[in-house]
Chain A
Amino acid sequence: MHPMWPEVHLHLPLVWRAVRAYERDPGAQEDLVQEVLLAVWQGLPRLRDPARLPAYMLRIAHNLGASHVRRAVRNPERPHLDQDALALIADASSAPGEADTQWLLDALRLIPLPQRQVLLLQLEGFDYKEIAEMLGISTENVGVRAHRARKALQDIHDGHQ
């Protein structure tokens, strides 16, 4: 067992939250978390700075989440915010408590992948520079994607008001 493995377990909630924004089915979410952990396990010996572990795990989670297709057939990504999807989100947000989280998850799954990734990393508390490094894009591009993501989220929010 790698000495950093207990640390990996500490950051498991980060991975779990990221995976939920890509996959709706709880069983498939578990499979995806497992896939991420296996990739993390493989890469741990090459990780020089332990402080970078959360970012490293999230990068893997977003890479594997974005290319994950198992349930994508049943729930295809929708580039446009159609009325059925908005109605679904509106239903989910009608009840208090967990429904808020469900609303957020459903809304995030409607946002195009490049923008969704930036928004998810922002929600985890990373700044533009860190996000740019994780995604391999410029900070300006992060800004553009973040702006578009927030706009899309606002549209979804306004759509069911």
Chain B
Amino acid sequence: MMDINEDALRALWQRQQPPSDLARTMARKVRRHRRIETLRRALDVVLTIGGIALLTWPVADGRLSPSQWLLIPFFSVFLVTSWSILLRQQADQRVAAHEPVAVYVSIRKVQLRNRLRHLKLASAAALALLGYALAGVIICYLFGSADWQHAALQLAVWAVLWSVGTGWLVRRQRATARRQYRQIARLAAR
């Protein structure tokens, strides 16, 4: 059996050159990604301000309609769990990637465990919201006026859609997080 020549191996490795347009493609992709990030941050701010406005303006107005009453718990759950957990996820990995591999492994494992906990929380919050909306429908149909019944039904439709969407997103991201955790755990091996 012939031994592998180290110099030849190194020359073979370093001979690989990227496609000539890679730098240009990457510059374009990075610019595009940064535009999307800015848009995402703007969306984040708009949603937060919108949620706060929705909660506070009826108070300033002095009157709360049935749908506003019903929406207050909805936004209490929504604000805490949705975009704060599901939208902000990639940046922390990039920050951790600056560290030496051994440190990155331990930071990333903690981040992924937190991520799995957050996904569980998002899922539980969506289910709680669904339960709340369904209870609202029952109570409003038993004791409420037509206004309350209509508002409760509307909230229930939103809650079902929200729950289905969250469930889909959580399943997808949980599988990725678990695979990444297993992958990272291999790095810790000697």
Listed in ascending order, the chain A residues whose CB lies under 8 Å from chain B are 9, 12-13, 16-17, 20, 30, 33-39, 41-43, 46, 56, 59-60, 62-64, 66-69, 72-73, 77, 100-101, 104, 112-114, 117, 120, 122-125, 133-137, 141, 144-145, 150, 153-154, 157-158, 161
Contact = CB atoms under 8 A, between A and B. Distances in A.
B100 A39 contact: no
Contacts of B29: 30, 34
A113 B77 CA distance: 41
B3 interface: yes
Contacts of A77: 183, 186
Contacts of A114: 186-190
Given A30-B29, A34-B33, A153-B4, A67 B23 contact: no
Contacts of B183: 66-69, 72, 77, 113
Given A38-B30, A112-B189, A113-B183, 10 more contacts: A41-B30, A42-B94, A43-B98, A59-B101, A72-B179, A77-B186, A100-B12, A117-B187, A153-B4, A161-B2
A39 B98 contact: yes
A16 B3 CA distance: 28
Contacts of B27: 9
Interface string B10-32: 10111111100011011101100
Contacts of B146: none
A56 to B, nearest CB: 8
B99 interface: yes
